[in-house]
């Protein structure tokens, strides 16, 4: 397989600009008067402290389950899609991916940094081997801005739908972490029933990063650089 040549200055510039813009968004979310609802962002906004790991996990799992239930009832159409930008394809990310797989998400894409924890290689290999819908990409440098997009891959849902049960927005949900370096604590923001414009901003950022990322096969994961090497 031919290795992709990365233009490091361009990648660094893009990621830095993206992180700066997202910091501004987070500041607006955190410091405005009513953080629970805002037409600019979504129907429901929740702030998580860095030590609320279990609460963050449950919130994301519940969103996945809710979208599956809506699809089962025929209230949304199209394929359920999960997009993740993370530092590493770690155990926490694997659990989110597995939960999405078990709840009828058919399009799952992960973008991560170039390194992985060695103990995770076998599990990642198994996921890629068993589920062809899971795509794993790596960037030449570890991203400092992490987020998750839960959305519906359907052209019919670009505008309001009479079948939608969402009050204002129907394009999906966002989970956004504060920009951070490896092993730094960080808060995060959850946006339920996100404004389509906000979903589009993060979707475009995801696609930009994807354009500079390298797709890994299951066998290439076994040769991926580890943190303790």
Instruction: Supply the pLDDT for residue 215.
Output: 97
- Percent of the chain having pLDDT more than 90? 49
| Residue count of the chain | 229
Burial of 39 (0-12, 13-18, 19+ CB in 10 A): exposed
Name the least confident of 26-35, 147-156, 192-201, 216-225: 26-35
* CB atoms closer than 10 angstroms to residue 81: 21
Per-residue pLDDT averaged across 106-129, rounded? Answer: 96
Question: Does pLDDT of 182 surpass 70?
Answer: no
Per-residue pLDDT averaged across 89-110, rounded? Answer: 95
Residues 6+ apart with CB under 8 A from 78: 152, 153, 154, 156, 157
Q: Contact, 194 vs 201, CB < 8 A?
A: no
**Has domain 8-167+178-186+193-222 been given CATH number 3.30.160?**
no
Instruction: Supply the pLDDT for residue 162.
Output: 31
Global pTM?
0.76
Q: Contact, 208 vs 14, CB < 8 A?
A: yes
pLDDT in tens, 124-156: 999 999 999 999 999 999 998 899 999 988 543
pLDDT in tens, 18-36: 654 655 555 455 445 445 5
- Which tokens in the block code for residue 81? 């899609």
Instruction: Supply the pLDDT for residue 86.
Output: 95
Domain ranges in the chain? 8-167+178-186+193-222
Could you tell me the end-to-end alpha-carbon distance of the chain, in angstroms, rounded to an integer? 23
Name the least confident of 53-62, 111-120, 181-190, 215-224: 181-190
Q: What are the backbone dihedrals phi and psi of residue 121, each rounded to the nearest 5 degrees, phi first?
A: -60, -45
């Amino acid at each position: 397989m031919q290795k992709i040549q990365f233009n490091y200055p361009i990648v660094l510039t893009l990621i830095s600009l993206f992180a700066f813009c997202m910091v501004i968004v987070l500041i607006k979310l955190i410091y405005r008067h009513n953080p629970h609802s805002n037409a600019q962002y979504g129907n429901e906004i929740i702030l998580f402290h860095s030590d609320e790991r279990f609460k963050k996990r449950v919130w994301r799992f519940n969103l996945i389950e809710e979208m599956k239930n809506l699809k089962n009832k025929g209230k949304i159409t199209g394929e359920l899609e999960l997009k993740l930008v993370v530092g590493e394809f770690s155990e926490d990310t694997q659990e989110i991916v597995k939960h999405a797989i078990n709840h009828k998400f058919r399009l799952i894409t992960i973008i991560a940094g170039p390194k992985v924890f060695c103990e995770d290689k076998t599990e990642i290999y198994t996921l890629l081997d068993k589920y062809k819908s899971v795509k794993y990409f790596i960037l030449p440098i570890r991203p400092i801005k992490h987020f998750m997009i839960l959305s519906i891959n359907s052209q019919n849902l670009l505008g309001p739908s009479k079948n939608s049960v969402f009050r204002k927005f129907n394009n999906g949900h966002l989970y956004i972490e504060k920009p951070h370096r490896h092993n730094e604590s960080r808060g995060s923001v959850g946006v339920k029933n996100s404004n389509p414009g906000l979903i589009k901003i993060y979707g475009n950022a995801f696609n930009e990063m994807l354009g500079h990322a390298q797709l890994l096969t299951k066998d290439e994961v076994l040769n991926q650089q580890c943190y303790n090497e």
